[in-house]
Structure 1
Amino acid sequence: MESLYILIPIAIFFVIIAVAIFFWAVRSDQFEDLERQGMNVLLDDDDPPASKSTSQPAAKQADNADVKPRDES
């Protein structure tokens, strides 16, 4: 029975903290746009695929840019 004298004020303290956090979230517009996060899953912003007109990856092309062509004469 004596434990209730400790547990009830602790429970009231936690309820006050939970209510304060809830009102803070409402005031800071945490619940303003509930659908946006659900739509973000469906609308991925993936990078467009690389163009297939080049035969070498960009890293190899950069390495070959410094190489001078042979003089075959």
Structure 2
Amino acid sequence: MIILLMLVPLSLMLLAFAIGAFIWAVRRGQFDDMDTPALDILSDDTSPPAQQGTRDRQASVHVD
């Protein structure tokens, strides 16, 4: 029974911390745009990045 005297205030402090963290996240704009990050992974890149080794080999080849 004495454990309840410790667990109840501890759970209330944890609840207050969770509510505070949620309010902080809302004020910082963490939940403003929930759709765009999920859709970004589905879009293709327009061009693949150039590889350094391929560019060097092409520069050293002479066409007559």
Q: Please indicate the TM-score interval, normalised by the length of the shorter structure.
A: 0.7 to 0.9
Which consecutive unaligned segments of at least 5 residues does structure 2 have?
none
Q: C-alpha displacement at 1:47, in angstroms?
A: 5.5
- RMSD, aligned CA: 2.3
Instruction: Flag the structure with more relative contact order, 1 or 2, with Cα contacts below 8 A and sequence separation at least 6.
Output: 2
**Letter of the structure 2 residue corresponding to residue 48 of structure 1:** S
Runs of 4+ off more than 4 Å: none
Q: Between Structure 1 and Structure 2, whose CA radius of gyration is higher?
A: 1
Q: Percent of aligned positions with the same letter in both sequences?
A: 33
**Letter of the structure 1 residue corresponding to residue 21 of structure 2:** I
Aligned to 2:17: 17
The alignment covers a number of residue pairs equal to: 58
Report the TM-score, using the length of structure 1 for normalisation.
0.65
Q: C-alpha displacement at 1:61, in angstroms?
A: 3.1
Task: Tell me the secondary structure at the aligned position of residue 31 of structure 1.
Answer: coil
Aligned to 1:54: none
**Counterpart-to-counterpart distance in 1, 2:18 and 2:26:** 12
